[in-house]
Each structure stands twice: as C-alpha cells, then as structure tokens.
C-alpha cells in the first residue's frame, strides 16, 4: 500500500516482448528461475536525482468553512489579500457588487445559501488561496475541481481569465 506508484522510483527494470499469453508466461518463468530467455531484458535504471513531488490543488464545491478561513487569510496573508482584492475589483466591474462586502458582512446564515452570492465568492476565495500557496512557493503539478471548484481550477490552470471566471 505504501509502495511508490511510479516505476521511475524503482531501480530494477524488466521488459518482456510477447504477443500472446504463453510467451509472456514462458519469459516470466525463465526470469523467476534466473534463466536467460530471448524475449526477456533486465537491467538497472540509471542513477538520477529524484524528482521532487508536487501537490495537486483540489478545488472543492460550496462549503461554509470558506467564509471564516477567508476572513482570517484576508487579514493575515498578503498574497491572499492581494488576489482577493483583484477578484473583488473585477467582479465589481462586472456586476456592481462587492465580493469583499459579501465576505465581511454579518447576517443570517441563509445569505450563504444564495448561490448568486456564495458561488462567485467561493471561487474568488479558492483563487486567492491558490495564489497564497504559490506565493509560498507551493506549485501544483495539476489542478482539479468539483462543481464551482472546476471554475477556480480552470482559472488557476490558465484556461479562463479572471473576468470569465467570475462571470
């Protein structure tokens, strides 16, 4: 279960050229017996520095936890704050509404169930969080998202500009 998932991490190599099951079994049997076989090739991988692993950024759909986290990061994380303010300006140009005002507003919990408010707000929060991680030097190998998280992931991947993302 804890074994590496990529063959590149194992030093030993085994290759078998076979078109059907029978020659494959014969070559594997020879390998296990330590005997030579024409279809069999073994060796060691050349020594190379390990490739650093990078995370995958996963962008989730709606969740109330984002509001409190966003408020704290807005106060404490400069790259998050700059990114969120950038989204707020673009969104205000598009709609005349403020994502910052929505984030900081106190009000009934029902307001956070209104998709017209919460969806663009959560996308802006996810983008700002990804920008903060990148400012800390954490760069993703890939991005994925579910539901509204797909929109944020598309922006971080470079597939959507900020205006199209927030639209």
Q: How many helices and strands, by DSSP H and E, does the chain display?
A: 7, 4
HSE-up of residue 108 (Cα within 13 Å, Cβ side) = 4
pLDDT at residue 3, rounded to an integer: 47
Beta bridge partners of 41: 15
pLDDT at residue 24, rounded to an integer: 93
Q: What tens-digit pLDDT sequence spans the chain (167 residues)?
A: 444 444 446 778 889 999 999 999 999 999 999 999 999 998 887 776 666 788 999 998 876 667 788 999 999 999 999 999 999 999 999 999 999 998 998 765 556 667 777 889 999 999 999 999 999 999 999 999 998 899 999 999 999 999 999 99
pLDDT at residue 115, rounded to an integer: 79
Residue of 88, 99, 12 lying closest to 47 (CA atoms): 12
Distance from the Cα of residue 144 to its chain's centroid: 5
Phi, psi torsion values for 83, nearest 5 degrees: -65, -45
Beta bridge partners of 56: 142
């Amino acid at each position: 279960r804890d074994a590496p998932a990529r063959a590149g991490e194992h030093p030993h190599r085994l290759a078998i050229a076979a078109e059907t099951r029978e020659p494959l079994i014969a070559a594997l049997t020879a390998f296990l017996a330590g005997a030579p076989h024409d279809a069999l090739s073994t060796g060691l991988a050349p020594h190379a520095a390990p490739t650093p692993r990078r995370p995958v950024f996963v962008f989730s759909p709606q969740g109330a936890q984002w509001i409190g986290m966003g408020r704290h990061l807005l106060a404490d994380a400069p790259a998050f704050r700059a990114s969120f303010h950038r989204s707020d300006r673009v969104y205000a140009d598009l709609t005349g509404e403020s994502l910052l005002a929505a984030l900081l507003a106190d009000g009934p919990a029902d307001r956070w169930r209104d998709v017209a408010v919460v969806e663009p707000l959560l996308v802006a929060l996810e983008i700002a969080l990804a920008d903060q991680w990148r400012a800390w030097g954490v760069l993703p190998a890939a991005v994925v998202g579910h539901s509204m998280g797909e929109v944020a992931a598309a922006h971080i991947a470079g597939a959507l500009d900020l205006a199209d993302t927030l639209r």
